[in-house]
Structure 1
C-alpha cells in the first residue's frame, strides 16, 4: 500500500517476492507493517517467513529445493538471525528485550545460562543484520502504541510487524514510522493450497488428483 502525502493509504500492485517486503528499489527499509483482517493470514505469513528463513540458512540445500510461494528467498540470506515474537503472549511486557528473554532465551537455555545467552544476543545484534518479527500488534495491550526497542542495537535491525488495520490507524503511529505497508487478503487459490497440504499429509503412493477432487467435492 502507498501512504499519500495527505495520509490516505491507497492500494498498489501485488507483491511477488520477499524483497518487495523489505526493499524500496535497492534500499533496505527498517520498518515494514503487514495488516489484514482476522483470519486473513497475517500470522501464517509471519510463520512461513520464519520457516523459509530457517530453510535458507540450513547447511544442506535439500530444504530449499522446493520453491516457496514467494519463489525468491535470497533476500532472507541477508538476515543472519531472526527473532520471532508473539505479542499476544507478551501482553503485559513493554520492551522487546524482555520479550526476547521470556519467549526465546528462557525457553532454550537453562536458568544459569540466561545472562550469558542474553549478552550473546546483544553481541549478535551489534554485529550482524537481523530481523525481528512482531506478530499481533493489535493483541498487545501496552499503554504505548508500539513495544519499546530501547536497549536493542538498531544499526542492523529490521522489523516486520503484523496487525489488524484498526491498530495501525492509531494516530500515535506516524506515517513517517512506516517504511513499507502491506496488506494481506487471505488465500487466493484455495484449491491449490489444499492440494499442497494434502500432498504433505498423504502417502506419496496415493493418487493425489483423485483424493484432491474428492476433497474439493466434499
Structure 2
C-alpha cells in the first residue's frame, strides 16, 4: 500500500509539473479557434446555399420550394464512385433495397443541389456517406458535411456539433473559401489538432505548447476576412492571456473540453482517465471564473485514479521518450489496415463504363481483362556504350514486383494514353484487398494473391489530384488517403511515417506524366525533381 501511495504521489507531481497542463492549454486554444471560425464558415455556407436555391427557383420559374422526400440513395446513381460497394453476390451495399434505389427528384431540386455540391468540391469527390439528402433544403450544414472526411460526420447536425478538423475540411474542400483562407495553413492547423488530440498520455512539452499557440494565433490573424469578426479579436486576446498566464476559465469549460476529447479518443486508457477527470470536476464544478492555475490544482486530485488505471491496464505506461508503446502501435496499425481495405474497396473497385457516363461505373471484377505486358530490361554494352533492350512477356504480378526472388524497389509502367494504366492500378488495389480478405472467387490467380499478400499496406495516389505545392509522397498519402479513412484522427503524421518505415508497403503513383515538381520549394531537399520523392524512410 505504501508503494501505491508513493507512485500515486509521483503521478500527482507529474501532472502538477506542467505537461498535462500544457496539453490542456493547447486544447483550450483549439477551442478558441473553433469558436472563432465556426460562425464565419456557417454563415458562408448558408449564404452560398441561399443563392443556390434562388438560382434553382428562377430557373424553374417558381417561388422558392423545397424537397424533403429524396434520400441520399435516391439522388445518387448506382454505381457512384467512392460510395457503392459490391458484396459477394455483386449487389450494391448502398442501394440495397427498393426504397434506396435511384429515382429522379419529383421536384427537380435534389439533382441540381447534388450537381452543385460536386462542382464546388475541390476534388469533385464529395463525402456522400456523411449526409442525408432529405435534410438538404432545411439545414445547409447537412450540405457542408459533404466537404468533410467521409463516414465521420453523419450525426454532426450543426457547426457546434462539428470538431475543428471537420470545419477546416469544409474550408479546404469548398471552392467558396478559396479567397478567404490559405489551404496550406488550414492543412497545418488540421495536422496540429490531430497531434494535440492524440498526444501520448495527453502530455505536451512547453516547446510543443508554444509552437501550437504561435501556429494557431498566426492562423487567426493572417485572414483578412476573419478580422472582420469580433470573435476573432476575442480569440486572439484569449490566446495572448493564456500564454501570459492571465486567462481565467471555469471548471465547466475544462469539463466540456475533456468530455469532447473523451468522445473522440479510442484509446481505452485515455478514455478512462478523462472520465475520472470529468467526474472530479463535476464534484466541485463552479460557474465562477477562476484562474487557470486553480483549476489545475483541482485536476491534481485525479492522480490516484491515473495510477490505478495504468497499473490495471495490460498496456505498459508510455514513456515521454517514446511516441507510443508497441501495443498501441499494433492496435493502430491493424485499425489503419482495416480502414485502408474498406477505403480501397470503396474508391478503386469500379471502373467507368464510358467517359460519357461518369456517374455510372461497373464492378472491375469480371469486367477487366489483364493486358498484355512486357518486361523491358535495358542492357548497356561495354563497347561504344550501346544499349540493348531485352523484352520478356509478363505472366503474372510476380514478374512485375520480383526479379527472380528479390523484391524490386521501384517499377515503372509505361504505355500510350488510353491503354489502361490507371485501370491496371485499380486492379492492383482490388487484388490487394482480396488477398488480405479472401473470398471465393476464381477471377484472381492464386499467384497474384500470394504476390500482393506480401505487402501489408497498399496506397494508390492519383498524381492528377495532388496539390501543386506537393512533392513528398508522405504528404500525398496523408491528404489523398489517410484523411479519408474512418479513424483518420488516429493516424497522425508520426503514425503514418512509422508504418511506412516499419511495414511492407506498396505505393502506386498513377499519372506521372500529369505531374510536375513545384517550383521554388525551399523545404524540398531531394535531388531528383522528375518524380515525387520520399523523406528519410526506406522503401521496404
The answer to whether the superposition gives a TM-score over 0.5 is: yes
Name the structure 2 match of 1:81: 457
In structure 1, how many angstroms separate the alpha carbons of the residues matched to 2:447 and 2:456?
20
Q: 2:408 aligns with which of 29, 48, 53?
A: 29
Name the structure 2 match of 1:131: 506
- CA deviation vs aligned residue, 1:3-61 (integer Å, no higher than 9, x gap): 12147463512101111001111111100000010011111111100100001001xx3
In structure 1, how many angstroms separate the alpha carbons of the residues matched to 2:416 and 2:391?
18
Name the structure 2 match of 1:185: none
Change (3 A) 1:110 1:57: closer
The answer to whether the Cα contact below 8 Å between 1:57 and 1:77 also exists between their aligned partners in 2 is yes
Name the structure 2 match of 1:154: 538
- CA deviation vs aligned residue, 1:157-193 (integer Å, no higher than 9, x gap): xxxxxxxxxxxxxxxxxxxxxxxxxxxxxxxxxxxxx
In structure 2, how many angstroms separate the alpha carbons of the residues matched to 1:27 and 1:107?
33
User: 2:485 matched to 1:101?
Assistant: no
Displacement of 1:108 after TM fit?
Answer: 2.1
Name the structure 2 match of 1:197: none
Q: Answer 1 or 2: which has greater helix percent.
A: 2
Aligned residues, how many? 150
In structure 2, how many angstroms separate the alpha carbons of the residues matched to 1:70 and 1:14?
19
In structure 1, how many angstroms separate the alpha carbons of the residues matched to 2:406 and 2:435?
22
Displacement of 1:73 after TM fit?
Answer: 2.3
Displacement of 1:69 after TM fit?
Answer: 6.6
Change (3 A) 1:123 1:36: same
- Secondary structure, counterpart of 2:412 in structure 1: strand
In structure 2, how many angstroms separate the alpha carbons of the residues matched to 1:72 and 1:30?
18
Unaligned runs of 5+ in 1: 157-218
Displacement of 1:71 after TM fit?
Answer: 5.6
In structure 1, how many angstroms separate the alpha carbons of the residues matched to 2:445 and 2:418?
19
The answer to whether the Cα contact below 8 Å between 2:517 and 2:530 also exists between their aligned partners in 1 is yes
RMSD: 2.3
In structure 2, how many angstroms separate the alpha carbons of the residues matched to 1:70 and 1:86?
28
Change (3 A) 1:133 1:25: same
Displacement of 1:91 after TM fit?
Answer: 5.0
In structure 2, how many angstroms separate the alpha carbons of the residues matched to 1:7 and 1:122?
41
Displacement of 1:117 after TM fit?
Answer: 3.4
Unaligned runs of 5+ in 2: 1-375, 519-528
- Secondary structure, counterpart of 1:40 in structure 2: coil
Change (3 A) 1:90 1:9: farther
Considering Cα pairs closer than 8 Å and 6+ residues apart, tell me whether 1 or 2 has the greater RCO: 1
When Rg is computed on C-alpha atoms for both structures, the one with the higher figure is 2
Q: Answer 1 or 2: which has greater strand percent.
A: 1
In structure 1, how many angstroms separate the alpha carbons of the residues matched to 2:459 and 2:512?
15
- Secondary structure, counterpart of 1:147 in structure 2: coil
In structure 1, how many angstroms separate the alpha carbons of the residues matched to 2:467 and 2:404?
35
In structure 2, how many angstroms separate the alpha carbons of the residues matched to 1:70 and 1:40?
25
- CA deviation vs aligned residue, 1:46-87 (integer Å, no higher than 9, x gap): 1100100001001xx325x32337863211111000111011
Change (3 A) 1:68 1:129: same
Displacement of 1:98 after TM fit?
Answer: 1.1
- Secondary structure, counterpart of 1:123 in structure 2: helix
Runs (4+) of structure 1 exceeding 6 A deviation are none
In structure 1, how many angstroms separate the alpha carbons of the residues matched to 2:386 and 2:466?
30
The two structures have a TM-score, normalised by structure 1, of: 0.62
Change (3 A) 1:23 1:142: same
The two structures have a TM-score, normalised by structure 2, of: 0.26
Stretch deviating more after TM superposition (41-50 or 117-126): 117-126
Name the structure 1 match of 2:144: none
The answer to whether the Cα contact below 8 Å between 1:109 and 1:117 also exists between their aligned partners in 2 is no
In structure 2, how many angstroms separate the alpha carbons of the residues matched to 1:109 and 1:66?
30
Name the structure 1 match of 2:429: 50
Name the structure 2 match of 1:120: 495
Change (3 A) 1:9 1:82: farther
The answer to whether the Cα contact below 8 Å between 1:91 and 1:139 also exists between their aligned partners in 2 is no
